Structure 1
Amino acid sequence: MLRSIINYFYDKIAGSRLDHPIYIIPTFDGLKVVLLNIILLVIGLSYANNYVLLFNFILFCLFLGSMFYTHFNLSGLKLVSITSPQIHKGESREIALYFSTSNSQGHYFLKPSFKSNLVKIQNQKQTYSISSANNFSIKILIHGEKRGRESINKIYLETLFPFNFFRCFTFYSVDLRLFVFPEIKNGTNFQKSFVPDLINKESDEFFIREYQTGDSLKRVDWKKLAQTNKWYTRQYVAVNPEPVVLSCDDNASEELLSSLCFSIHEMQTRNIPYGLKLGNKSFIAPGNSPFHLLNCLRELASYDN
């Protein structure tokens, strides 16, 4: 019940249009300190005990000092940029957050988080520190849980430093498009004819180069050897593979999308031009480049999303 109220409170704050304001609220430990202060104050006044009142004063100053320093630990911190990793379902990658700060003292025990239906932050209790030694960056390890795409609009950052009496937090507005690609898996339901075997195919065209130890005698240019009394090897030119279009029906299963993802990576490695056709919804012309690979993977991630 209490956790639901806190989450509702966070959602309301995250929906505000303010530019990363800093909020601070007492934790359960902080409320215990408040209750202890009240009890000590009542006892000290009732029994006129100066030692109890002195301890109550010291504890109260520690409480106020903790509130100030917790707020100071998060102030002056600004999110500059965020990197979106290329992640497949079942893989783990890092999201890097880059900050600038006007606080020369550094920032300690920071815990970033964000809401996502596709990825999960691993080791959610881990905290980070920011100083000039690590270029003001935080790297969060995430795990791909589900294929798809989504937009992340808020990054949540909190700290409990130094005594866990107060929770200081803020929200940064971001525009992050997150894609989780299908799992790379060569499924049995994928048609193998989509990836033709063009390895070691050669044309009749060749050029001559000097013979090197280990070259096959079948490629030795014997005619050139007879003319010049020097050994030469024929280097045949490989055939440019024909473009291949990978396609699937409108109701493709996750296993088929995983097989398509496997074949796309395989043909990218073998330098075979490939295209992608997902039913009647999208078509990408054949090509072979890192940008073309990224476009195809994003189409697979966005399929029926």
Structure 2
Amino acid sequence: MAPLRFSANLSWLFPELSGFPARLRAAGSSGFEAAEIGWPYAEPPEALARAAREAGLRVVLINTPPGDREKGENGLGAVPGRQAAFREGLEQAVLDVELGLRGGCLLDQRSIAGRGAVATRPRGLVYSAAIMRLEVKIHLMAGRVPKGADRAAVRGEMEIVFLENLRHAAEVLAQENLVGLLEPINTRITDPRYFLDTPQQAAAILQKVGRPNLQLQMDLFHWQIMDGNLTGNVREFLPIVGHVQVAQVPGRGEPDSPGELSFSYLFQLLEDEGYTGFVGCEYQPRGDTAEGLSWLHSYWEMRGRPHAGQ
């Protein structure tokens, strides 16, 4: 069984540093081989790609745009009346990947000047085999139940919208050899109005869509809060999982911080079940991020890998 591979979620880690390029450098210096960024859209993707290459990192995950945060939006995939905005955001996410986050090396040497209009961007660009293996995935955010609406009353309509948007997304992503992810987010603590909140709901939706380039994103923090039964759920759903994320429960700190979860057990479980994707570190550091990585250094040492500074 292969050791797990970890990615630094730079929307959470290294908050003591300003800007994603600085956080990418810090993640590389700390021994990470990959990074994920929730919403990278405020910075040019070419600049992020350059910073990632200099740090020896690959970017493996981004989210679709959240929508209008001032109006309380947190994703648009299942939100009625926002289909056009979701699809525009999907195009923006794919364009960011093409322009830099996937690696920036095109075999046909075609240049893309600026970010350009998404409607006229090139399709079907030929990527080298090395870049195709960079495993960039896009989290297709479902969004929230509209304010004032009863969840049960709008569930059917929202699922129909989500299914339509996911089928569209699967077609768009397939043209670029990309994978889309669905992530259940807990509605007990983190986001009470989020539409997609359990692995069972997400798996049922994936089955209805039936597209192989759409997979499940397993955040153990959210899964523990909503359903528990992590051993059973990991074993049941891992065959359709494309990405894992971790944080302690309930404080959302480092895996070795006080809480409900035994990550030595969970990491071993993922290894035993044959998981080969990345494990994203999406937690809130209790202090300096690098100083709080002793849990990761211990994991590497147990698997025979030296960490940064050794």
Q: TM-score, normalised by structure 1?
A: 0.20
Higher strand content, 1 or 2? 1
Higher helix content, 1 or 2? 2
Q: TM-score, normalised by structure 2?
A: 0.20
